[in-house]
A and B are shown apart, each in its own frame.
Chain A
Amino acid sequence: MEMKKTDPQSASRARNLFLLLMNMLYISAFTFGGGFVIVSMMKKKFVDEKGWLSEEEMLDFAAIAQSCPGAIAVNAAILMGWRVAGAAGMAAAVLGTVIPPMAILWVISMFYTAFAQNPIVGTVLMGMQAGVAAVIVDVALSLGSGIVKKRDPGQIVLMAAAFVAAAVLKINVILILLGSAAAGILLQIAKRRKNA
């Protein structure tokens, strides 16, 4: 792959690690909205500005980060850190991603008990809760409509069954996920057999 700007392997390793840490700290501290917002900020910084990796690689990273367990922002940082500076880079990128929210939430939680009892803060939290609930419903609807649009009956039935298991039967979420994963594998095998 041809890169006009600095090649991460040839430039000084310590400098790269430091840059990685500082840039991730900056991105993480000033990004609201989680996962994908951070990924697009990372693209702007590391692909467009620094040229450390290609846009294609970044797209692959976003896809892998989304389909692996864990927070998308942290997963993307792990992949980015590994690509730029190996295992040490991975640690630097993760620290950079995690330290700002940890510091902010640490301070907030020190005041939480006093906060929560304050009637004004209580009202604000109540209002924000409605907003958060709406955001979660929106996420669930867009994920759900993505499944419906694929027009795969197996997946639609699986989604409905998982919903009933969670909301009506109150089955443990982890068991539902394991069951869904197993059902997904079986559905895929059945489809391959039919097409073969």
Chain B
Amino acid sequence: MILLELFINFLLVGLFSVGGGYAAIPLIQSRIVERMGWLGMEEFTHLMTIA
């Protein structure tokens, strides 16, 4: 169930992003790009740039 996985992964990101938005970037990279493989690194950097 992708919605549940999304929720749990971002729950972890939110729980550990002490120091605001920029602190969340490496966490999102480690969970979403490296562990889950939902995004490629290029798409991830595009999304960070847009955000």
**Are A and B bound to each other?**
yes
Chain A contact residues, CB within 8 Å of chain B: 34-35, 66-72, 105, 108, 112, 116, 125, 128-129, 132, 136, 139-140, 143, 166, 172-174, 177
Q: Evaluate contact between B30 and A173: CB separation under 8 angstroms.
A: yes
**Contact of A68 with B49 in the complex, beta carbons under 8 Å:** no
By secondary structure, the B interface counts as helix
Cα separation A105 to B16 with both chains bound (whole Å): 23
Task: Tell me if A69 and B15 are in contact (CB < 8 A).
Answer: yes
B26 touches A70 (CB 8 A): no
Q: Show 26 A/B contacts (Cβ-Cβ < 8 Å), sorted by A.
A: A34-B21, A35-B21, A66-B19, A66-B20, A67-B18, A68-B18, A69-B15, A69-B16, A69-B18, A70-B14, A70-B17, A70-B20, A71-B20, A116-B43, A116-B46, A125-B49, A128-B49, A129-B45, A129-B46, A132-B45, A132-B48, A132-B49, A136-B25, A140-B22, A174-B30, A177-B18
Contacting residues, chain A, for B12 (C-beta < 8 A):
174
A133 to chain B, nearest CB (A): 8
Distance in Å: Cβ of A62 to nearest Cβ of chain B: 11
CB distance from B47 to the nearest CB of A (A): 8
Q: Which residue of B lies closest to A132 (CB)?
A: B49
For the A-B complex with A34-B20, A34-B21 known, give 14 more contacts whose Cβ atoms are closer than 8 Å.
A69-B15, A71-B21, A105-B50, A105-B51, A108-B50, A112-B46, A125-B49, A128-B49, A129-B45, A129-B49, A132-B49, A140-B22, A173-B30, A174-B30
Tell me, in angstroms, the Cα distance from A86 to B20 when the chains sit together. 23
CB distance from B4 to the nearest CB of A (A): 19
Q: How far is the CA of A125 from the CA of B50 in the complex (A)?
A: 8
Bound-complex Cα distance A139 to B22 (A) = 8
**Complex CA distance for A108 and B51, rounded to whole angstroms:** 10
B19: chain A residues at CB < 8 Å are 66, 143
Nearest B residue (CB) for A139? B22
CA A72 – CA B45 in complex, angstroms? 21
Q: Which of B24, B30, B48 meets A71, CB within 8 Å?
A: B24
Q: A70-B14, A71-B17, A116-B46 are in contact. Are A136 and B30 (CB under 8 A)?
A: no
The smallest beta-carbon distance between B12 and chain A, in angstroms, is 7
A136:B20 contact, CB within 8 angstroms: no
